[in-house]
């Protein structure tokens, strides 16, 4: 078996299609993206050299609404990865029931090796290449690995500039080259923007917080105790850090955190997540961040019984719940048998290979699938887009209340389907999505 994410996505599709009452023509359509865009982006580097970067946008399916999905900047970005991620967005948006289709994009680049000015020129150049294909009613990008609110703000501004300079074809009638479009329409070309550039309250924490709501609902449905349950998290970026904070606030014990350079394990629970974050920001890495109050350093190792771990070790430590929140293929046939937790909460996209999924199933480990667990981000992206399009600004409490209701309702639908068909939560999530996609399509 292969760890190619696109082949994995197709296998998941076929498995669920065997249970779902949907026409074969829908499955055939989902096996191929609607459109694949590959661009070369020339960038003037700070030292005067010109470098070419390779960018992608895959528009997988739009039967439920405009294509929607993040942009990833990472050295390993490639076409099969982006195709799989775009397919998962189609499935995810149907599960969380927002009126969007699926899309995804990225650039093959290590952004940590660029200056901020180079990163901005690369982002703006990529936006100019994508401008004819994206737009508020067409395709709406968002942040993903190594992209953030600032980068989304650059995309929003560059898109507006392109439209106003009459370079973008395919805009709705009468909008070509117009400078009188409402501000909100330009804001809606991308989500995950800074607040002052049309962003939404609650978007930064939405994916992590959404994962917490999903986990809580599954634990409630399956009669598992919440308080004091121990959690180990791989990946301490946007998703992992906000999830960790939400879990800690609710009384879970965070025993391990890791990032790409390693991590920390404290069996009694990490006492102060904010101090760990500050330590990571200061040193550029998690390893070594043992904290008591505001003091984070190695002198606390013995007091806390903590130790450094590798990036991968976070997944196989003794914990009730493990959370892959970094990249694909984190749980493979090589390490699946070593997982000790009772629950795997998939916050990353595609973190478990098919072979590993079977091993986890045989061990009786409950896997909460990515397409449900991490769908809180796109739920609030939808609220952001909706506010932009209507010129509204919602309060944080309102956004978070809607997010909670949405995640609970998606989780209940998936859980009920898993009981009805006697299948895993992953298969159930795909069945829910396929049946919703079938309702929206005339094929």
What residues are annotated to the active site? 104
Within residues 117-146, the interface with ligand NAD by CB under 6 A covers 143-146
Query: Could you report how far apart the first and last alpha carbons of the chain are, in Å?
Result: 32
**Cα–Cα distance between 108 and 235 in angstroms, integer?**
20
Stretch that binds ligand NAD, among 95-103, 223-231, 299-307, 346-354 (CB under 6 A): 346-354
H or E stretch including 183?
A: helix 183-187
Beta carbon of residue 227, minimum distance to ligand NAD (angstroms, whole number): 26
Which position among 111, 198, 199, 377 is part of the footprint of ligand NAD (CB under 6 A)? 377
Minimum distance, C-beta of residue 384 to ligand NAD, in the bound complex (Å): 11
Tell me which residue has its CB nearest to ligand NAD.
Answer: 237
Question: How many Å apart are CA 220 and CA 214, to the nearest integer?
Answer: 10
**Distance separating alpha carbons of residues 83 and 68, to the nearest angstrom:** 13
- Does 335 contact ligand NAD by CB under 6 A? no
Q: Which window, 164-172, 183-191, 237-245, 248-256, contacts ligand NAD (CB under 6 A)?
A: 237-245
Contact stretch for ligand NAD (CB under 6 A) within 218-226, 231-239, 269-277, 394-402: 231-239
CA angle 307, 269, 278 (to 5 degrees): 75
**430: CB partners within 8 A, 6+ apart:** 12, 13, 15, 16, 20, 91, 371
Does the protein bind ligand NAD through residue 259 (CB under 6 A)?
yes
Tokens at 139, concatenated: 């395709």
Residue 313 as a binder of ligand NAD (CB under 6 A): the answer is: no
**In 222-364, where does DSSP find H-type helix?**
238-249, 273-283, 301-304, 354-362
Contact range with ligand NAD by CB under 6 A, out of 47-55, 257-265, 356-364, 421-429: 257-265
199 near ligand NAD (CB under 6 A)? no
Q: Are 216 and 297 in contact (CB under 8 A)?
A: no
Element containing residue 284 per DSSP (H, E): none
Max CA pair span of the chain = 68
Q: Which of residues 31-70 bind ligand NAD (CB under 6 A)?
A: none
CB of 260 vs ligand NAD, minimal distance in Å: 4
Under the criterion CB under 6 A, does residue 326 sit at the interface with ligand NAD?
A: yes
Q: Is 288 an interacting residue with respect to ligand NAD (CB under 6 A)? A: no
CA-CA-CA-CA torsion sign (337, 80, 155, 399) = negative
* Helical residues (DSSP H) of 250-353, grouped into ranges: 273-283, 301-304
> Is position 306 an interface residue for ligand NAD (rule: CB under 6 A)?
no
Q: Supply the DSSP string of 132-151, one letter for each residue.
A: TT-BTTTEEEEE-TT--HHH
Nearer to ligand NAD, 104 or 121 (CB): 104
Q: Which residues pair with 234 in a beta bridge?
A: 258, 324
Q: Which stretch binds ligand NAD (CB under 6 A): 16-24, 42-50, 54-62, 255-263?
A: 255-263
Shortest reach from residue 399's CB to ligand NAD, in Å: 14
81 near ligand NAD (CB under 6 A):
no
| 236: contact with ligand NAD by CB under 6 A | yes
In angstroms, give the least distance from the CB of 126 to ligand NAD. Answer: 17
Q: What is the smallest separation between the CB atom of 210 and ligand NAD, expressed in angstroms?
A: 9
Does 103 participate in binding ligand NAD (rule CB under 6 A)? no
Q: Which is nearer to ligand NAD, 66 or 143 (CB)?
A: 143
When asked if residue 238 is in the footprint of ligand NAD (CB under 6 A), the reply is: yes
- Of 33 and 211, CB closest to ligand NAD: 211
For β-strands 366-368 and 295-296, DSSP reports them as unpaired
Region of residue 166 (phi > 0: left; psi between -120 and 50: alpha; otherwise: beta): left
Helix (H) or strand (E) holding 396: helix 396-421
Q: Which residues contact ligand NAD (rule: CB under 6 A)? A: 143-146, 207, 234-240, 258-260, 311, 325-327, 347-349, 374, 377
């Amino acid at each position: 078996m292969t760890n190619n994410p696109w082949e994995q996505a197709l296998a998941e599709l076929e498995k669920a299609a065997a249970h779902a009452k949907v026409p074969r023509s829908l499955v055939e359509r989902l096996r191929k993206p609607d459109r694949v865009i590959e661009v070369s982006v020339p960038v003037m580097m700070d030292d005067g050299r010109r470098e070419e970067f390779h960018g992608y946008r895959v528009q997988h399916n739009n039967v439920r609404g405009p294509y929607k999905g993040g942009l990833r900047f990472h050295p390993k970005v490639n076409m099969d990865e982006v195709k799989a991620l775009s397919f998962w967005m189609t499935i995810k948006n149907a599960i969380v029931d927002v009126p969007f289709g699926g899309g995804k994009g990225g650039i093959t680049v290590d952004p940590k090796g660029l200056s901020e000015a180079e990163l901005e020129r690369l982002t703006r150049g990529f936006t100019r290449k994508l401008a004819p294909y994206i737009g508020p009613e067409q395709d709406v990008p968002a942040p993903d690995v190594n992209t953030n609110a600032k980068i989304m703000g650059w995309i929003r501004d560059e898109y507006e500039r392109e439209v106003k300079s009459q370079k973008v074809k395919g805009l709705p009638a009468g909008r070509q080259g117009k400078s009188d479009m409402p501000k909100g329409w330009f804001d809606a070309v991308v989500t995950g923007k800074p607040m002052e550039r049309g962003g939404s309250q609650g978007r930064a924490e939405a994916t992590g917080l959404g994962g917490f709501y999903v986990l809580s609902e599954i634990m409630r449905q399956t009669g598992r105790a919440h308080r004091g349950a121990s959690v180990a998290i791989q990946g301490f970026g946007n998703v992992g850090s906000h999830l960790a904070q939400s879990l800690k606030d609710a009384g879970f014990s965070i025993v391990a955190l890791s990032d790409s350079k390693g991590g920390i394990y404290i069996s009694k629970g990490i006492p102060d997540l904010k101090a760990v974050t500050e330590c990571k920001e200061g040193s550029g890495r998690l390893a070594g961040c043992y904290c008591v109050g505001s003091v984070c350093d190695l002198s606390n190792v013995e007091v806390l019984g903590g130790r450094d771990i590798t990036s991968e070790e976070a997944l196989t430590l003794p914990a009730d719940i493990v959370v892959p929140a970094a990249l694909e293929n984190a749980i493979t046939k090589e390490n699946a048998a070593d997982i000790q937790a009772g629950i795997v909460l998939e916050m990353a996209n595609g973190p478990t290979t098919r072979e590993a999924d079977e091993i986890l199933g045989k061990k009786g480990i409950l896997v909460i699938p990515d397409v449900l667990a991490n769908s809180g981000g796109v739920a609030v992206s939808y609220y952001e887009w909706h506010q932009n399009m209507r010129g509204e600004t919602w309060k944080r409490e309102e956004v978070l209340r809607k997010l909670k209701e949405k995640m609970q309702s998606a989780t209940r639908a998936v859980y009920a389907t898993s009981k009805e068909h006697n299948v895993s939560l992953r298969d159930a999530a795909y069945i829910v999505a396929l049946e919703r996609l079938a309702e929206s399509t005339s094929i």
